[in-house]
Amino acid sequence: MPLYKRHIRRILVRSTNWIGDAVMTIPAVRAIRECFPCAEIFILAKPWVIPIFENSPYTDRLLIYDSAGKHNRIAGKLRLARELKEYRFDAAILLQNAFEAALITFLAGIPVRIGYDRDARTLLLTHAVHCSPRIKQLHQTEYYLGILKGAGLKKPGNADFDRSLYLRVSDKQKQRADEILAQYGISGNDRILGINPGATFGSAKRWFPDRYAYLCQRLKPFAEKILVFGSPGEEALGKNICETAGSHCVNLCGKTTLGEAIALIGRCRLFVTNDSGLMHIAAALDIPQIAIFGSTDHVTTAPAGSMSHILRVPTPCSPCLKPECPEKHHLCMKAVTVDMVCSLAEQLIINGNR
């Protein structure tokens, strides 16, 4: 019997481990809801990914995979499997590619286990979807939808799955964003821009801090304040940019939760960013943004928002997909000038005011 015709009451969806990847799974999560409108859908995710799904209209419950705590090591994985078994899931859909994801759902006794046949886990899946070279070259939103298509899941009426992103900001989050902005003397009528000069994985995908600082100086006429976003550990990066750029810049690096950052990005007239998780969040919020690409793959991981614009200069060595520049010259990032970013930024801001 085809999966979409089975009586499936409760579904476990294993989320990806990175924020940007989790955002790009939103179309797949929505598609699961469309395929099983009456089922309870649970998300299993690492703690830092949970905020992506907190206000989702497509899910019912969130379960934390505490891999650094009670679910650590072999004993912790067995504990997680026992915990999941108590929910009596009818199906598990693994958006995460690891062997471990399949093993845990297998040990939890979930009768239907769907995922790509990667990481030597085929025998642990009841519906192993072949991950062909063609699938690996698709944009990540299509890649995750491919799991469902490969398992034979269909929307009612056989309509195509929607690959658009959507993040809902709750009233509570909006109120908290207002409180944070008020701490820096920013009112609801002030014009706000945002930049995100950091990024995980390595320095190769980061545009230069001095260029971000100069950009902030150039964009001062267009905003009362420019918010500098970043993760814990990037406080010094934000501080240096703000000190160079001027008092209209606010260093929020390491000072907000992910949920707060989502709401604050939602207040920005424009967001300028490296390839990062916050880039995908801005895309899901449909905020006008400029995403600077160099070492990473703009085909598979481009921001999927209608208001997102990629800025890159093709170079012989790009994309290298390396965390650090193998040639030590950062040519792909040097090729993106402040004038290029500023010109596009001014155009987007002016068009947004019409």
pTM of the model: 0.95
Superfamily for the 3-158 domain = Glycogen Phosphorylase B; (3.40.50.2000)
Q: Are 327 and 203 in contact (CB under 8 A)?
A: no
Q: What is the mean pLDDT of each run of 10 residues along the chain (354 residues)?
A: 75 98 98 96 98 98 97 96 98 97 98 97 97 96 97 84 96 97 94 96 92 98 97 96 97 97 98 98 98 95 96 94 91 97 96 68
Given strand 40-45, what is the order of strands in its sheet? 61-64, 40-45, 10-14, 91-94, 112-116, 127-129
Task: Give the rounded distance of the alpha carbon of 120 from its chain centre.
Answer: 26
pLDDT at residue 154 in the model: 86
- Residues near 78 by Cβ (< 8 Å), separated by ≥ 6? 107
- Residues near 154 by Cβ (< 8 Å), separated by ≥ 6? 4, 35
The answer to whether 3-158 and 171-352 have equal CATH topology is: yes
Statement: 171-352 belongs to CATH 3.40.50.2000: yes
Q: Are 301 and 275 in contact (CB under 8 A)?
A: yes
- Residue 205 DSSP symbol: G
Neighbours of 19 (CB within 10 A): 23
pLDDT at residue 254 in the model: 96
pLDDT at residue 354 in the model: 42
- Residues near 331 by Cβ (< 8 Å), separated by ≥ 6? 315, 317, 318, 325
Closest CA to 305 of 295, 321, 290: 290
Angle at 316 between CA 315 and CA 322, to 5 degrees: 85
pLDDT at residue 353 in the model: 61
Domains in the chain: boundaries: 3-158, 171-352
Q: How many residues does the chain have?
A: 354
